[in-house]
Amino acid sequence: MARPVAGWAGAEIAGLPEWIRPQLTQLVDQAPDGPQWLHEIKFDGYRMHARLDRGAVRLLTRTGLDWTHKYPAIAAAMSSTLGARQAYLDGELCGLGPDGITSFSVIQLASESGNAAALVFFLFDLLYLDGENLCERPVIERKARLAHLLSNVGSPLHYSDHQIGHGRAFHEKACAMSLEGVVSKRTDAAYAPGNRGLWVKVKCLHREEFVVVGWTDPQGRRPYLGALLLAYYDPQGRLVYAGRAGAGIKQAELERLWRKLQPLAVSEMPLDLPPPRDSRFGSPLVLSRVHWVRPELVAEVKYLTWTADNLLRQVVYEGLREDKPATEVRREAPHPTPG
C-alpha cells in the first residue's frame, strides 16, 4: 500500500497530488558560493503551482487556492503545449514591464484587466510527471527533466534557467541588471514542502510585504486617502508599526484601495503600541485622523532603508498581495550565508 508523502494534501506516492505545500526560501546576507549550489533569478510575482491532469489544468497559490479562473490563457497554454498526460510544476507567475523585468504592479494590473499578454509563467521545478513522483530526486535532476519537458514550449511558459556555483558574482550581475535578486538551492536536495534553508535568497532591492492597519486622510487635490499605515507581526504575534506608504499609488488604485478598506474599518487601533507621532523622516502623524482597519490586507512596497527607530524610509507602494495571508507577514532579517 502506498504511503502518504509529508506535506502533500490528498496525495499518495503513485497518484497525482491535489496540492503540494511549496518549499520556501530564507533570506541570507550574501549568495553562497561553491559547486553544491545552483542559482536562479528571483522573480517578482505570484508563487504558483500548476497541476495538469489529462488536459485539465489547475493553477494553485502558495496556500492552495485555485486561481485558474484568473489566468485562463496561462491554463490553456499549460494544457495544450506541455506534451504530458499528468504533471505538477512549481514556478512564479509574473508580469513583464517594457524593459523585460518582472514587475508586481504589472501582474496586478493584468490580473484585474484580463490582459494576459503581459503575463509570463517562469517554471523552475517539476515535482511529478506521468505517474512518477520526483520530489525525492535532487533538484538538479528535477530541473533537467523540466528543461526537457519545456524544450519545445514557447511563451507564456518559460523555463527558469540556473548557474552552478559563483553565487556572489551571479548576484552582482543580477543587481547590475536591476533584477529582484537571486535564489540559491542545494543541487543535491529533495523538495521539502514548507522548508526554509535549503533554498536561500539574496535581494538586490529592498522590497517586502506588510500588513495594512489603517489609512490617513488625503491632502490637497489627492482623492480618497493619503497613505497606508503598515505593520508586521513579531515573533510573539504582536502587530508592530513599520511606517507609511503613500507614494506610487495612482488615482485608480487609490479608489480601489479606499473601497477595499471601507468594510474593514474599526474603531480600535490593531497595533500593540501606537505609532510615534513624529519622525525625522516624513510629516508628523496625527493619530486622531487615522482610520484603523482590521489587519487583513497585505501590501508590497519598495523602500530605501530602515531608520534607527525601526521605521521604513522612502516607501513606494507596489500593490496588494492577495496570495499571502496577513498572519504570515513577518519582518525579514538576513541569516548568515550557509556553507
The candidate with the shortest Cα–Cα distance to 307, out of 206, 236, 226, is 206
Residues 6+ apart with CB under 8 A from 14: 2, 131, 133
Active site residues: 42
The single residue listed with the C-alpha cell 522548508 is 195
**Dihedral sign computed on CA atoms, order 64, 135, 185, 87:** negative
C-alpha cell at 189: 536536495
| C-alpha span between 102 and 81 (Å, rounded) | 23
Q: Could you say which DSSP state residue 324 is in?
A: S
Stated as kind and residue range, the H or E segment containing 72 is helix 72-81
User: CA torsion 232→175→31→27, rounded to 10°?
Assistant: 10
Q: What are phi and psi of 79, to 5 degrees?
A: -70, -35
